[in-house]
């Protein structure tokens, strides 16, 4: 079925905005935890101060948060603080008279979509391991229905406590029992020592919780993503590049990790934080990107070429800055074509054998459908994703056109992360269909 692809300019016209205004302001903000009810448990540790920021972040992301604190946690942060941040009364006693049936441990656990203990002290994890339940928080963890109420633990302790064999045995057994034990951070600790054992930062824990709730259709896959522009030097201070911000590629890397994949991200020169759980390799030029990609693709099962790679580079980059000579004449530059990373990978033996699923991107300025169809055929990729480059570079939203052998499909204007998640679902569906064929 043929249709006109709605680019950003058409979307702006529909919303009454002028070009240059952020169209994303008209989109509904993403609340990834909307409708989720989280029991946030705090145990004793200086990392309780991070739990306050985490609680605020969970609420801003759309979750309702019920805070439960141990007696030890109250030595580090007050119930009043957590009540103000969660907008709900805080529970701390198994004998809380507010529950008509006097069974707070049952009621609170049954209402939750997940229980997140942050910070989880070494003592509390040992208590969980042995099924001890001598306070409200340990009671509700033991009383939770594990099939419907997952338990996530964010450890926080001194580096020696974290490295102790007893703690590591406890972590292994808790995971074997079905709990999700999150990573620890590394750095300076409140005791003055430096090492592993810090609780993750609130933003990291929020990202991990959001990822936990996402479906995992790419579990077992290794996704290799290229993102951002490349930079081709003319001389030591000048070069050829483009306006790609890398945001779409970084969103894809995050979405692939959320979908359960192991993810490697080869990034051109951009200023973006690495998505949680993603392995990142920084490169500059197209040839750098090709080398980094070829080195890592043998381990990959999916390759997504999101990067806006420069088509040409100067044949000979000057060793020193090219100076004006006063004549008004511009320097003469000759160019050579850069390697085609996508075509190289799509035509490799592994891709031809069906062991590497390749996805290409086409950033066009006009006639998107026609140009994208031609590019898919020319590159030989099973799936080509098109967008209007000038309308999306640097923006937080996008609109995509998916093109395969069966035709085309539009993904309407949304945040880049929302589109990336939909794209991962499309990739997973095609891989599953290929495996069943």
Residues annotated as catalytic (active site), given as ranges: 191
For residue 199, give every residue at least 6 positions away whose Cβ sits within 8 Å of its Cβ, in sequence order, or none.
45, 47, 50, 118, 119, 154, 155, 156, 184, 185, 205
Report the alpha-carbon distance of residue 419 to residue 411 in Å, rounded.
Answer: 7
For residue 271, give every residue at least 6 positions away whose Cβ sits within 8 Å of its Cβ, in sequence order, or none.
none
Task: Extract the tokens encoding 207.
Answer: 């990202």
What are all long-range contacts of 363-368, with beta carbons under 8 Å and residues at least 24 apart?
363/244, 363/308, 363/387, 363/388, 363/389, 363/392, 363/393, 364/388, 364/389, 365/389, 365/390, 368/5, 368/7, 368/401
Report the alpha-carbon distance of residue 204 to residue 118 in Å, rounded.
Answer: 12
Torsion of CA 122, 128, 132, 137, to 10 degrees: 90
Quote the Cα angle for 334-335-339, to 5°: 160
Comparing C-alpha atoms, which of 383, 382, 401 is closest to residue 392?
401
Cβ burial of 352 (10 Å; 0-12, 13-18, 19+) is exposed
Q: Which helix (H) or strand (E) holds 141?
A: helix 136-143
Whether the upstream peptide bond of residue 343 has omega within 30° of 0, thus cis, is: no
Report the alpha-carbon distance of residue 115 to residue 140 in Å, rounded.
Answer: 9
Report the alpha-carbon distance of residue 387 to residue 365 in Å, rounded.
Answer: 8
Q: What is the 8-class DSSP label of residue 95?
A: T
CB 411 within 8 A of CB 343: no
CB 341 within 8 A of CB 286: yes
Counting DSSP H helices and E strands in the chain, the numbers are 16, 19
CB 313 within 8 A of CB 338: yes
Report the alpha-carbon distance of residue 344 to residue 309 in Å, rounded.
Answer: 13
Residue with tokens 């994949």: 261
CB 257 within 8 A of CB 266: no
């Amino acid at each position: 079925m043929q249709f006109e692809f709605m680019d950003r300019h058409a979307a702006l016209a529909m919303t009454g905005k002028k070009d240059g205004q952020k169209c994303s302001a008209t989109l509904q903000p993403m609340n990834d935890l909307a409708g989720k009810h989280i029991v946030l448990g705090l145990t004793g540790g200086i990392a309780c101060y991070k739990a306050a920021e985490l609680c605020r972040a969970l609420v801003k992301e759309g979750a309702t948060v019920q805070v439960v604190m141990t007696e030890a946690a109250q030595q580090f942060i007050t119930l009043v603080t957590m009540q103000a941040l969660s907008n709900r009364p805080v529970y701390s006693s198994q004998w809380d008279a507010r529950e008509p049936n006097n069974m707070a441990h049952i009621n609170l656990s049954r209402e939750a979509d997940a229980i997140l203990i942050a910070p989880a002290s070494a003592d509390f994890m040992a208590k969980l391991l042995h099924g001890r339940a001598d306070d409200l928080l340990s009671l509700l963890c033991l009383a939770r229905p594990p099939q419907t109420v997952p338990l996530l633990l964010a450890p926080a302790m001194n580096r020696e406590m974290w490295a102790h064999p007893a703690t590591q045995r406890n972590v292994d057994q808790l995971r074997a029992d079905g709990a999700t034990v999150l990573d620890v951070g590394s750095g300076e600790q409140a005791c003055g020592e430096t090492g592993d054992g810090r609780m993750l930062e609130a933003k990291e824990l929020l990202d991990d919780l959001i990822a936990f709730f996402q479906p995992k259709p790419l579990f077992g896959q290794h996704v290799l993503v290229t993102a951002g522009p490349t930079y081709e030097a003319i001389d030591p201070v000048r070069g050829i590049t483009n306006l790609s911000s890398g945001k779409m590629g970084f969103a894809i890397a995050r979405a692939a990790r959320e979908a359960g994949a192991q993810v490697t991200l080869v990034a051109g020169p951009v200023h973006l934080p690495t998505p949680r759980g993603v392995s990142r390799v920084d490169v500059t030029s197209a040839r750098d990107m090709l080398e980094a990609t070829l080195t890592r693709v043998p381990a990959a099962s999916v390759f997504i070429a999101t990067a806006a790679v420069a088509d040409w580079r100067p044949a000979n980059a000057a060793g020193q800055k090219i100076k004006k000579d006063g004549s008004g004449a511009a320097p003469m530059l000759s160019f050579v074509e850069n390697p085609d990373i996508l075509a190289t990978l799509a035509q490799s033996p592994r891709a031809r054998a069906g062991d590497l699923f390749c996805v290409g991107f086409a950033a066009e300025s006009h006639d998107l459908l026609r140009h994208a169809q031609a590019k898919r055929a020319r590159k030989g990729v099973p799936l080509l994703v098109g967008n209007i480059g000038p309308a999306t570079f640097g923006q937080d939203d996008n609109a995509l056109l998916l093109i395969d052998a069966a035709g085309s499909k539009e993904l309407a204007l949304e945040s880049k992360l929302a589109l990336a998640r939909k794209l991962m679902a499309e990739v997973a569906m095609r891989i599953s269909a290929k495996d069943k064929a």
